[in-house]
């Protein structure tokens, strides 16, 4: 990167300057095909450009810059997808409360008793698990909860996961009813 240049460059074998900047629209099209969301595609392109510039020395002169950037973009997308799938929420409240039809209580008294068990189990959770779980249950995203409590995103995900595990364990007897 040069201080007097207005964009970043990589020099190929013919000493012609290929502008990474010229590849941004192409990268955005690919990113948008992968993600179907413009903001996520923008982030993916930005991360790709960052990694390309960071690892500029690994670019082999004479090779196709567009292909090299495309591979970086694809690998970034795959890595993000894997991260998200590791933390993707496949559980929902029915895991703890039960599917409406499958675990439907026979009368209002039993339903009320189940609600009391659930509320009691939630109140028994430690505050550091209970608060993020309740916010998540109310529909807040992990990111919003992370900002509220000023803790890392992974911490929020971990606390909600642990809250679910504790609730699942303490409400296991409701599935048998």
Question: How does 46-66 read in b/e, with b if 16+ C-beta sit within 10 Å?
Answer: ebbbebbeeeeeebeeeeebe
Task: Provide CATH code, domain 94-176.
Answer: 1.10.10.10
Note the CATH architecture for domain 9-87: Orthogonal Bundle (1.10)
Greatest mean pLDDT among 54-58, 81-85, 101-105, 123-127 lies in 123-127
Q: pLDDT tens, 153-164?
A: 999 999 999 998
Q: pLDDT tens, 67-91?
A: 888 999 999 898 888 877 766 555 5
Q: Report the pLDDT averaged over residues 135-146.
A: 88
pLDDT of residue 42: 92
pLDDT of residue 89: 55
Residue ranges of domains in the chain: 9-87, 94-176
Q: pLDDT tens, 12-57?
A: 433 333 567 788 899 999 999 988 888 999 999 999 988 888 888 8
Range of weakest confidence among 55-59, 109-113, 173-177: 173-177
């Amino acid at each position: 990167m040069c201080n007097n240049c207005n964009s970043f460059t990589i020099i190929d074998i013919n000493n012609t300057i290929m502008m990474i900047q010229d590849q941004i629209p192409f990268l955005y099209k690919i990113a948008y095909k992968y993600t179907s969301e413009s903001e996520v595609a923008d982030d993916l392109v930005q991360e790709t450009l960052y990694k390309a510039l960071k690892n500029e020395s690994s670019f082999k002169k004479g090779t196709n810059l567009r292909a090299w950037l495309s591979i970086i973009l694809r690998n970034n997308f795959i890595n993000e997808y894997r991260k998200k799938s590791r933390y993707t929420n496949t559980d929902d409240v029915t895991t703890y409360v039960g599917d409406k039809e499958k675990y439907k209580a026979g009368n209002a008294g039993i339903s009320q008793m189940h609600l009391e068990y659930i509320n009691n189990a939630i109140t028994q959770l430690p505050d550091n698990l209970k608060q993020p779980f309740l916010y998540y249950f109310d529909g807040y995203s992990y990111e919003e909860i992370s900002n509220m409590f000023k803790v890392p995103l992974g911490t929020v995900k971990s606390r909600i996961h642990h809250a679910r595990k504790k609730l699942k364990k303490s409400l296991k007897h409701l599935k048998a009813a």
